[in-house]
Structure 1
């Protein structure tokens, strides 16, 4: 399976997170809901890599990559705490487009820190994402 299929499946499952998460936080504290979700994710991920046969690779991760993975985990936790908090307060159809502005931030940060190239097409796409998010939220 190629990167595009993985990315499309990621998008489909991310949409389910918004819908199921919105239903789940209706009568539950959003931080508690996020904690439960994180435990489920950890268990499912460990089961997946165990089934895949790659769980032993955890102990082979060197310190520097491990540090970045750890910090990435903290960023992900913060993202989900705020995401579920927003879902508690607003419709999923408004929260998701704002959350997807992460695309814009990722492109900017990738250019700054990873030295990835930004073409005219990327700039145009970023502007469309920003304006599209604004249109959806204002509708």
Structure 2
């Protein structure tokens, strides 16, 4: 499978993840749901890693790769912490656009740090289209409270920066390491971070109260997340981060289609135009890479 095909597969499973997760958090706390889903991802990742090759290959992983894989996992956890802290202080319609800018930041950093300058004009134009489309898709909620506390902005910027660093650090950590094994190792760190968040917020007691039906959806969501991560990290290990992170944005299209058929959710004209920009910008970068 080419890395571009893997990136599209990652986007597809990421889109399914959102729908399954939505079905699983009707009454379940989002932090608890994330921690439970990560358990499934961890088991899935290690099974795939074992089937892909001998696990004793871990002994051959260099100290440098271990360091960057661990840092990548920590960056993911840090992104989640910053994101939920920002949401607790500021309005959703303000926090989300800043957080979504992580894909744009990842692309620009990949161009600078990894010299991914082939078809630079197309990448920059495509990135601009994706950024504009993302902002257009975020609808402003009516009647929301407005917070005068500007610290939400710093937390939201932190979430975006750490999310972008996740891909860049993983790119370095995966070098010379089988991508499935690297994903499994990295997921261990993410799991520890997810449960640490639950423990710190005093939500461990809520785990026993999760409904069976929602637990099933969370498990399915975890499997979809695991599949998405495996394809995603294979794609960034073999291809260009600046393109992969944008193709991954097409998960929005998958989520929108499933949401329409499953929940009857419809797009406004503005949101539809934003989605079209995301698809066009991503397709341009994938086609001319």
Q: TM-score, normalised by structure 1?
A: 0.91
Q: Which runs of 5+ in 1 are unaligned?
A: none
In structure 2, which of residues 188, 196, 215 is the aligned counterpart of residue 39 of structure 1?
A: 188
Question: Residue 3 of structure 1 corresponds to which residue in structure 2?
Answer: 92
Answering whether residue 262 of structure 2 is matched by residue 113 of structure 1, we say yes
How far is 1:7 from its partner?
Answer: 6.3
Q: Secondary structure at 1:118's aligned position in 2? A: coil
The ranges of structure 1 where at least 4 consecutive aligned residues each deviate by more than 3 angstroms after the TM superposition are 6-11
In structure 1, which of residues 10, 17, 24 is the aligned counterpart of residue 173 of structure 2?
A: 24
How far is 1:119 from its partner?
Answer: 2.1
Number of aligned residue pairs: 139
Q: Which runs of 5+ in 2 are unaligned?
A: 1-88, 103-159
Question: Residue 95 of structure 1 corresponds to which residue in structure 2?
Answer: 244
- Name which of structure 1's ranges 116-125 and 92-101 shifts more when overlaid on structure 2: 116-125
Cα deviation digits, residues 66-85 of structure 1 (max 9, x gap): 11111111100100000001
How far is 1:14 from its partner?
Answer: 2.8
How far is 1:6 from its partner?
Answer: 5.5
1:5-84 matched pairs, under 5 angstroms: 5=95, 8-9=98-99, 11=102, 12=160, 13-84=162-233
Cα distance in 1 between the residues matched to 2:171 and 2:178: 12
How far is 1:8 from its partner?
Answer: 3.4
Q: Secondary structure at 1:24's aligned position in 2? A: helix
Question: Residue 20 of structure 2 corresponds to which residue in structure 1?
Answer: none
Q: Secondary structure at 2:267's aligned position in 1? A: coil
- Name which of structure 1's ranges 115-124 and 23-32 shifts more when overlaid on structure 2: 115-124
Cα distance in 2 between the residues matched to 1:95 and 1:3: 27
Cα deviation digits, residues 92-121 of structure 1 (max 9, x gap): 001111111101111111111121112222
Highest RCO, 1 vs 2 (Cα 8 Å, sep ≥ 6) = 2
Q: In 2 relative to 1, CA 3–37 (structure 1 residues): closer, same or farther, beyond 3 Å?
A: farther
CA RMSD of aligned residues (A): 1.7
Structure showing greater radius of gyration is 2
